[in-house]
Amino acid sequence: MPKRPLHLLIFTDLDGTLLDHKSYSAKPADRLIATLSAQAMADIIPVTSKTYSELLWLKQDVPLPFVFCVTENGSVIHRPVDYFPINGEPSPVVTLGVPYQEILNQVAAVPPALRRHITGFADMSVEQIADATGLAFDDASRAKDRQATEPFLWFGSDSELGALQAIIGEAGLRIQRGGRFYHLTGHATKDQAMNFIVKSIAGQRPDCDIISVALGDGPNDLAMIEAADFGVIMPNPDGVTIESSKAHVRTASRPGPEGWVRAVTEIMAELGLNLRQS
């Protein structure tokens, strides 16, 4: 019986993983990605905290020939339409988290004594977001274009934050702490989004054996890395690196896009996949 062809699904975090931590360059990974795409050997699937607007803008500078992508830390999956029928109808977007308007409705329902301590992106102008984040105006505008998460500044006490967490939790939301900003989200995660896409593509590609590869450098990437067939932890240039005891998880030899290339190339060699020479 002939051996079934393999098709890779490479799920990748962006900042500090596919993109250099300082320069945001994808070199030399951009060359490998272009070759994999041209030879139809793999789908490159960005899985990022960025909004869809931010990702589309990034795509103009970084060669990301993606058909699928996951934004807002696993909350939203994008395209193609025919892979994701919702209630029998094709849809270009699957929201695994809580839709943005529902999050804003829950914020509006928070008791005034707590609500006054919350300043979310929806409360802020683009100029205010730019001032608070250090982003350029256009970048702040794209960051404000949200679908399933709400960053917010918190001006209350820790005990009041605990009270807010309890109220928000009853509504099916959670609070995640970033740097300066907190984030109101549903319970969707990067690994849930990855599993959804793997099952969807496997249903569309019954002629292939689907192999998932996941690469990331942060704590919120670890569950995705461990859930993939091949997981890759990207070392952080400052020496702080996540860890896993799973046998199928490795640590890349170098940080950023150079380590990304080495790790993906190693995995392909182990699977007996060879790029055609042009």
In tens digits, what is the pLDDT along the chain, a chain of 278 residues? 457 889 999 999 999 999 998 888 999 999 999 999 888 889 999 999 999 999 999 988 887 888 899 999 999 999 777 666 666 666 789 999 999 999 999 999 999 999 999 999 999 999 999 999 999 999 999 999 999 999 999 999 999 999 999 999 999 999 998 778 999 999 999 999 999 999 989 988 888 999 999 999 999 999 999 999 999 999 988 776 899 999 999 999 999 999 999 999 999 999 998 887 65
- Is residue 275, in this structure, part of any structural domain at all? no
Give the range of the structural domain holding residue 23, as residue numbers without chain letter.
6-95+189-270
Say yes or no: 83 and 60 in one domain: yes
- Is residue 276, in this structure, part of any structural domain at all? no
Q: What pLDDT score does 86 carry?
A: 61
Q: What are phi and psi of 32, to 5 degrees?
A: -65, -40
Q: What are phi and psi of 212, to 5 degrees?
A: -100, 135
Q: What pLDDT score does 1 carry?
A: 45
- Is residue 233, in this structure, part of any structural domain at all? yes
Q: 13 an active-site residue? A: yes
Say yes or no: 11 and 89 in one domain: yes
- Give me the residues paired with residue 235 across strands: none
Residue 256 falls in which region: left (phi positive, over 0), alpha (psi -120 to 50) or beta:
left
Query: What pTM was estimated for this model as a whole?
Result: 0.92
Q: What pLDDT score does 3 carry?
A: 76
Domain end among 185, 213, 242: 185
CA 60 vs CA 27, 186, 240: distances in Å: 15, 30, 31
Burial class (CB in 10 A: 0-12, 13-18, 19+), 59: middle
- Give me the residues paired with residue 47 across strands: 70
Q: What pLDDT score does 278 carry?
A: 56
Across 93-173, the runs of DSSP E, i.e. the strands, are: 93-95, 118-120, 149-154
Residue 248 falls in which region: left (phi positive, over 0), alpha (psi -120 to 50) or beta:
alpha
Say yes or no: 181 and 193 in one domain: no
**Strand, helix or coil at 211?**
strand
